[in-house]
């Protein structure tokens, strides 16, 4: 099932990264926040990505994912699990399908 690419707003520098996320999640709205921070709205769920971590509000709490751990291949995504929805599975699929997290990290460090 093919979907049309969703245009990314105000994050040209991060286009490749978000393009891959969009393919997994579907509708994504992204915007540049504070320096070194990007916010995404993924099907109504806010995700904040900084150089150090990925913050995903899960129910009433916020779960942080260590980008360094992901780059090294360590699975820190199992910290987020919720029996009430399959959002953690979608996050896992999206982030583990992105093979160029090192490039993404370098983009952050160069800005």
Q: Taking the domains of the chain in order of start, what are their residue ranges?
A: 12-105
Total-model pTM: 0.32
Q: Helices marked H in 1-111 — which ranges? A: 15-25, 67-71, 87-96, 101-110
Q: What is the mean pLDDT of each run of 10 residues along the chain (111 residues)?
A: 40 44 44 56 60 51 40 38 46 50 57 55
Residue 6's alpha-carbon distances to 27, 29, 50, 71, in angstroms, are 7, 9, 22, 26
Give me the pLDDT at residue 91, please.
54
Q: How far apart are CA 79 and CA 108, in angstroms?
A: 24
Q: Which residue has the tokens 């982030």?
A: 95
Residue 59's alpha-carbon distances to 56, 72, 82, in angstroms, are 9, 28, 8
31-68 burial, b at 16+ Cβ within 10 Å, e below that, comes to: ebeeeeebbbebeeeebbbbeebbbbebeeeebebebe
């Amino acid at each position: 099932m093919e979907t049309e690419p969703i245009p990314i707003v105000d994050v040209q520098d991060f286009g490749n990264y978000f393009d891959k996320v969009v393919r997994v999640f579907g509708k994504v709205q992204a915007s540049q926040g504070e320096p070194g921070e990007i916010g995404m709205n993924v099907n109504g769920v806010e995700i904040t990505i900084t150089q150090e971590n990925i913050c995903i509000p899960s129910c009433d709490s916020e779960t942080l994912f260590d980008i360094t751990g992901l780059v090294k291949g360590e699975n820190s995504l199992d910290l987020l699990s919720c029996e009430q929805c399959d959002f953690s599975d979608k996050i896992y699929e999206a982030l583990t399908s992105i093979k160029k997290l090192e490039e993404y990290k370098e983009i952050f460090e160069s800005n």
